[in-house]
């Protein structure tokens, strides 16, 4: 029998949040994003912490490398997003992002599994107990490379097709 999910990891852009500024792939500052429909409701139904599940975020933020926002701002915006989605939960969510330029090889940018592996190590959770939710083929590929289950964001949040 498949063990219950102890760790949910989410992609950020177009999975939990969307940019409200046309032409920007991700927000560069506060007030440039909103939660996607159903996110607060769906995540509000999950029992977090303790005997429940833990939460991680794995996001490619190459806009940092191109100088559109600082790493500190990227971190802050992702933390704001998680707080808007689930409020304060314990243990604290584990947020990881890849700040590298697309032309720079690195171990963290999805489809590499680096961030997913780091988040699992952070919580001490096995791949079989972990689920990754994302909207891009690179998300699905990262999940496969990390050996964790994958669900498309529209299926997880019930957006339909």
DSSP characters over 30-74: TTSEEEPTTHHHHHHTSPBSTTSBEEEEEEE-GGGTTTSS-HHHH
- Residues that bind Zn ion in the complex, under the rule CB under 5 A: 98, 100, 106, 108-109
**Binding flag, residue 135, Mg ion (CB under 5 A):** yes
**Residue in 126, 130, 158, 155 with CA at minimum distance from that of residue 143:** 130
Q: How far is the CB of 144 from Zn ion (least distance, A)?
A: 18
> 69 touches which of Mg ion, Zn ion, none (CB within 5 to 8 A by kind)?
none
Question: Which residue of 6, 11, 61, 146 would you call a contact of Mg ion, by CB under 5 A?
Answer: 11
Q: How far is the CB of 60 from Zn ion (least distance, A)?
A: 8
Nearer to Mg ion, 14 or 19 (CB): 14
Q: Tell me the C-alpha distance between 36 and 47, whole Å.
A: 20
């Amino acid at each position: 029998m498949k063990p219950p999910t102890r760790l949910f990891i989410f992609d950020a852009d177009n999975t939990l949040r969307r940019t409200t500024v046309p032409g920007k792939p991700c927000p560069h500052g506060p007030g440039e994003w909103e939660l996607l429909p159903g996110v607060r409701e769906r995540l509000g139904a999950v029992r977090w912490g303790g005997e429940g599940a833990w939460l991680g975020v794995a996001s490619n933020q190459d806009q940092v490398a191109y100088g559109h926002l600082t790493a500190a701002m990227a971190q802050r915006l992702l933390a704001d997003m998680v707080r808007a989605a689930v409020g304060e939960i314990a243990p604290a969510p584990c947020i990881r992002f890849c700040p590298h330029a697309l032309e720079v090889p690195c171990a963290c940018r999805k489809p590499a599994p680096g961030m997913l592996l780091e988040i699992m190590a952070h919580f001490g959770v096995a791949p079989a107990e972990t689920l990754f939710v994302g909207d891009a083929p690179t998300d699905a590929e990262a999940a496969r490379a990390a050996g964790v289950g994958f669900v498309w964001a529209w299926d997880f949040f019930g957006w339909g097709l």
